[in-house]
Amino acid sequence: MKIDLPKKSDINEWYNQIVEVSGLCDKRYPIQGFNVWTPYGLRVMRNIDGFTREEMEKTGHQEVSFPLLIPESLFAKEAEHIKGFGGEVYWVTHAGEKELDEKLLLRPTSETAMYPMFSLWIRSHADLPLKTFQIVDVFRYETKQTRAFIRIRQIHFFEAHTCHADFEDAEKQIREDIEIAKRIFRKLALPCLINKRPDWDKFAGAHYSIGFDALMPSGRTLQLGSVHQYKTNFSEPYNIKYEAPDGSHKYVHQTTYGMSERLLGAIVLMHGDDSGLILPPEVAPIQIVIVPIIFKGKEKEVMDACQKILKSLKSRFRVHLDDREITPGSKYYDWELKGVPLRIEVGPKDVEKDEMIIVRRDEGKRKSVQIGDINSVSSELQAVDESLYKKAEDVLNNGVRDFKNIDEARIDSGFSGVIRMPWCGSESCGHQAEELLDMSTLGSPIDGGNEAGIEERCAICGGTAKEIIVMARTY
Amino acid sequence: MKIDLPKKSDINEWYNQIVEVSGLCDKRYPIQGFNVWTPYGLRVMRNIDGFTREEMEKTGHQEVSFPLLIPESLFAKEAEHIKGFGGEVYWVTHAGEKELDEKLLLRPTSETAMYPMFSLWIRSHADLPLKTFQIVDVFRYETKQTRAFIRIRQIHFFEAHTCHADFEDAEKQIREDIEIAKRIFRKLALPCLINKRPDWDKFAGAHYSIGFDALMPSGRTLQLGSVHQYKTNFSEPYNIKYEAPDGSHKYVHQTTYGMSERLLGAIVLMHGDDSGLILPPEVAPIQIVIVPIIFKGKEKEVMDACQKILKSLKSRFRVHLDDREITPGSKYYDWELKGVPLRIEVGPKDVEKDEMIIVRRDEGKRKSVQIGDINSVSSELQAVDESLYKKAEDVLNNGVRDFKNIDEARIDSGFSGVIRMPWCGSESCGHQAEELLDMSTLGSPIDGGNEAGIEERCAICGGTAKEIIVMARTY
């Protein structure tokens, strides 16, 4: 298969093609929104999961795995939550020939599976904080158009769930989560905005929600993950209490932190080009591919040199020697499509000079270095990473515009990106802006930017501005 | 929680208690047969999965991940398969408020999800062999009594699926699978019998099935895994064909190889004792625990020595320093329960002599060695592994008896283990023996043992014996 569309001409169609031709997934499974993870895609996802596990371990979270199925009665305990998810759950009603006494649902997220157990696990303040996470599949019956990794019905999902003695300790957790997320997104070369979602778009059951929004080259934002403060909204209906040092019994304060295979979708959308994927070195299953340029009579010298290079690199990098009997050009094509960050070419003339050529996937730059010069390989890999991050930062920096009032924003209707305006904070102004601009509200920036608006007037109603409203078209 | 039963008095009840008190799982989830993986159990299972992935990579299998849900029409394509599994599948009939056009089932195993895709993936002989595997959860509505890890309804599952040009290449795969299985089971210190299952007990849809049967101290066997030759039984209904070099189109020959969380159940049943789990060093999340024996005034010296030991060991072993403020005795109790293979004790007197005491979990033997003597630590760990394997071999060797005729076997009714008898090979004799002995047929040994019976008479009907029948009570 080939990609037959430049990225710029139709990024969404380009995306739909690239995810399959590069070997990330197969969308031909006969249930809509249920895709097959093919080996290459699964390896990328496992690397991403690896970063997550590493961060979870460093921050004292323990991995658990809860059942997929949830009894209807448990699910229904928190009213907002069932309102938010009830319309999109898959229901198991029968087992074998038998109709079940109680309907079971496939988890759309795991609060209602976990919290009855947390209520058994937590007894005293000594059990707190409880910091857990799991990496499992969740299921949501999306009614909108599906898109690989970004909007699907079986979702590879990460969810951290924590319980704390009080609100402030839960807030501390949220600050930790934000730092964790930043470190993970840096490895994926994905800078993002961090916004506190407006009340009308918070997670079902949350006290407040924070979203990580990356701006894609299409001008739309993609939510990379989210963190939620639940306060005691779930611990009350699920009865998760602890005995405080003074003997009193209190409800725990809870937080969650979620991410999904969307991260992989974001990498594809952000970094890919007309030749295929470009994978940041940290997530690439193959970081370096070695391609021998064979001419008759010089096969042995070239292959020996390639083997030597392979040997010198493989303890430090994920490296692959492509010894297939096809032309070097075909190999370039394949590995460019798969986004391998560095290619090393070795021909007879290079061998004579004891050299190899390093080619960067992102910029196509070629560089001759001594065979065995591992430091150059390492710094070229790092250069790919930094350049990808820099480009993504440019997309973000060039894609955010500030407006003083909504008319200015409407006039600039050719603009596709993130819009920021001073805001009185009212829901009605938010909805009005959404309608006038045909955008969604991402919320208000959590890390600065609010103060700037305080002296100004709300861009919509002209009342006193209290914060910045951040808006965009979203995936 | 404490265990209040010696293993010998009631091994099944002992098992039911130990899996929870040692922290492997929590069985209080409110759907029968659906347990929660608690952190410690999940870590053990991940180590086992790690061995499997390592073996799969070494043998050129690629990891994939297929959707959980299967449309009813796909599932129904192979008649024997649906007969075998149809009675125990969970059915998804609704999504949100909507009744689905076609019912979907939760995979009980993935043939019917994978093979329609294999039919798209395989075009020519150059695509063969196709060697894939996945580690996912499968769902079976067990009607028998459930038991943690051994008989549950949501099952952590490994399944390898391969496609081959011809029967002989598929047979070669089965021989490879057997070697893989032996290497994995050795790491778990689980010797086993390898039996070709009788026709009436083969996998639904298989041409033949091979089972790996470990004999537990209870006298019952537990199937650790199985390998199946499908021939073209699935490739025909699912239309998986390839173009041969001569231009003809042929159906592929297929095999599968399955294992599950039962492996963890087998480790618990086989190696545990009255004090708790005993984990083979290869699977133990913590291989060595360091316990400081603190006396007033000597805290610093002891803790410094422990830190030094920790530092010297942690690059080679999974080691944990237990610095909780509880008595050493309580720590011994906890870590014995969790089956940590080696404990290192360090008290003030040891520090004076620059020594530490190594205590083996399996035999309780104590040994003083120099602090920093990593080789002794390593050889003690190996000794635990070898001793566990040896004990399990003894259970197996002492638990298999040969009988010439079924009456002898019936008279020896106090015997609880594996029975082997010469057999004419007929299904009727098999069923008769099952009834008379109240046992199941495991099949015939694949690795020798058959020849012995050929000269003799069938133990049941007295006809000419063709093979050995192996029988046992099973989990």
Which of A45, A61, A92 is the best residue to mutate to test the B interface, defined by the most B CB atoms within 10 Å of its own CB?
A: A92
Which pLDDT band holds residue A84 (cuts at 50, 70, 90)? confident
**Structure confidence by residue, pLDDT tens digits, B418-457:** 999 999 999 999 999 999 999 999 999 997 555 554 668 9
Check CB contact under 8 Å for B67 and A36: yes
**Structure confidence by residue, pLDDT tens digits, A129-155:** 999 999 999 999 988 899 999 999 999
Check CB contact under 8 Å for B36 and A120: no
Centre a 10 Å sphere on the Cβ of residue B2 and count the other Cβ atoms it contains: 8
* Closest CB from B67, B96, B97 relative to A29: B67
Mean pLDDT of B31-49: 98
Which pLDDT band holds residue A1 (cuts at 50, 70, 90)? low
Check CB contact under 8 Å for A68 and B137: yes
> Could you give the C-alpha distances from B187 to B51, B183, B283, in angstroms and in order?
8, 7, 7
CA distance B24 to B18: 8
Between B231 and A84, the higher pLDDT residue: B231
Q: What are the b/e assignments for B14-36, b being 16+ CB within 10 Å?
A: bbebbbbebbbbbbebebebbbb
pLDDT at res. B399:
96
Strands A130-139 and A62-63: parallel
pLDDT at res. B301:
92
> Could you give the C-alpha distances from B323 to B163, B292, B303, B440, in angstroms and in order?
53, 7, 9, 50
- Closest Cα partner for A34 from A135, A141, A158? A141
Place of tokens 């083997």: A307
State what percent of residues in chain B have pLDDT above 70: 97
pLDDT at res. A75:
93
Axis-axis angle for helices B39-58, B167-187 (nearest 10):
140
For residue A351, give the 3-state DSSP assignment. Answer: helix
* Closest CB from A38, A68, A113 relative to B64: A38
Q: Where are the beta strands (DSSP E) in B96-148?
A: 98-106, 130-139
CA distance A146 to A6: 22
Place of tokens 């199937």: B223
Check CB contact under 8 Å for B86 and A93: no
**What type of residue is B151?**
R
State what percent of residues in chain A have pLDDT above 90: 89
Please report, to the nearest 10 degrees, the dihedral formed by the alpha carbons of residues A241, A245, A246, A250 taken in order: -20
CA distance A163 to A171: 11
Contact call for residues B294 and B346 (beta carbons, < 8 A): no
pLDDT at res. A108:
96
CA distance A35 to A359: 33
Which positions ≥6 away from A321 have C-beta within 8 Å?
A289, A290, A292, A306, A307, A310
Measured between beta carbons, the chain A residues lying within 8 angstroms of B95 are: 88-91, 141
**What type of residue is B327?**
T
CA distance A31 to A250: 46
Positive or negative: CA dihedral B233, B234, B238, B239 = negative
Mean pLDDT of A58-83: 93
Which of A43, A63, A65 is the best residue to mutate to test the B interface, defined by the most B CB atoms within 10 Å of its own CB?
A: A65
Which pLDDT band holds residue A38 (cuts at 50, 70, 90)? very high
Q: A252 is written with which tokens? A: 């725990």
Burial class (CB within 10 angstroms; exposed 0-12, middle 13-18, buried 19+) of B114: buried
Burial class (CB within 10 angstroms; exposed 0-12, middle 13-18, buried 19+) of A354: exposed
The separation between CA B471 and the C-alpha centre of its own chain, rounded to angstroms, equals 20
Q: Is the pLDDT of residue B48 over 70?
A: yes
Which pLDDT band holds residue A239 (cuts at 50, 70, 90)? very high
pLDDT at res. B79:
82
Read off the DSSP letter of residue B276.
Answer: B
Mean pLDDT of B198-216: 96
Find the closest chain A residue to B85 by CA distance: A96
**Structure confidence by residue, pLDDT tens digits, A111-132:** 999 999 999 999 999 999 999 9
Which of B47, B83, B90, B107 is the best residue to mutate to test the A interface, defined by the most A CB atoms within 10 Å of its own CB?
A: B90
Check CB contact under 8 Å for A96 and B74: no
CA distance A149 to A48: 13
Check CB contact under 8 Å for B36 and A66: yes
Which positions ≥6 away from A464 have C-beta within 8 Å?
A424, A457, A458
CA distance B65 to A198: 36
**Structure confidence by residue, pLDDT tens digits, A262-298:** 999 999 999 999 999 999 999 999 999 999 998 777 8
Check CB contact under 8 Å for B95 and A28: no
CA distance B214 to A408: 76
Which positions ≥6 away from A43 have C-beta within 8 Å?
A285, B63
For residue A389, give the 3-state DSSP assignment. Answer: helix
* Closest CB from A37, A62, A117 relative to B39: A62
pLDDT at res. B413:
67
pLDDT at res. A413:
67
* Closest CB from B30, B93, B132 relative to A116: B30
CA distance A423 to A426: 8
Burial class (CB within 10 angstroms; exposed 0-12, middle 13-18, buried 19+) of A144: exposed
**Structure confidence by residue, pLDDT tens digits, A309-349:** 999 999 999 999 999 999 999 999 999 999 999 999 999 99
Q: Could you report the predicted ipTM of this complex, rounded to two decimals?
A: 0.96
Closest CA of chain A from B472, distance in Å: 28
Q: Is the pLDDT of residue B5 over 80?
A: no
Q: Is the pLDDT of residue A4 over 80?
A: no
Residues β-bridged to residue A356: A369
Contact call for residues A112 and A81 (beta carbons, < 8 A): yes
CA distance A171 to A164: 9
Place of tokens 């991995």: A63
Reported as half-sphere exposure (CB side, CA atoms, 13 A), residue A10 has a value of 8
Which pLDDT band holds residue A450 (cuts at 50, 70, 90)? low
Closest CA of chain A from B137, distance in Å: 9
Check CB contact under 8 Å for B67 and A42: no
Closest CA of chain A from B255, distance in Å: 19
CA distance A193 to A395: 12
DSSP for A183-235 reads HHHHHTT---EEEEPPGGGS-TT-SEEEEEEEEPTTS-EEEEEEEEEEETTTT
Which pLDDT band holds residue A372 (cuts at 50, 70, 90)? confident
Measured between beta carbons, the chain B residues lying within 8 angstroms of A42 are: 63-65
CA distance A152 to A140: 8
Residues β-bridged to residue A288: A319, A342
Which of A1, A73, A77, A90 is the best residue to mutate to test the B interface, defined by the most B CB atoms within 10 Å of its own CB?
A: A90
Closest CA of chain A from B30, distance in Å: 8
Mean pLDDT of A180-193: 98
Number of helices (H), then strands (E), belonging to chain A: the values are 14, 23
Contact call for residues A384 and A360 (beta carbons, < 8 A): yes
Measured between beta carbons, the chain A residues lying within 8 angstroms of B132 are: 39
CA distance A75 to A104: 9
* Phi-psi group of B164: left, alpha or beta (phi > 0 → left; psi -120 to 50 → alpha; rest → beta): beta
Place of tokens 């009830």: A86
**Structure confidence by residue, pLDDT tens digits, B216-253:** 999 999 999 999 999 999 999 999 999 999 999 999 99
**Structure confidence by residue, pLDDT tens digits, A344-367:** 999 999 999 999 999 999 999 999
- Closest Cα partner for B90 from B104, B74, B109? B104
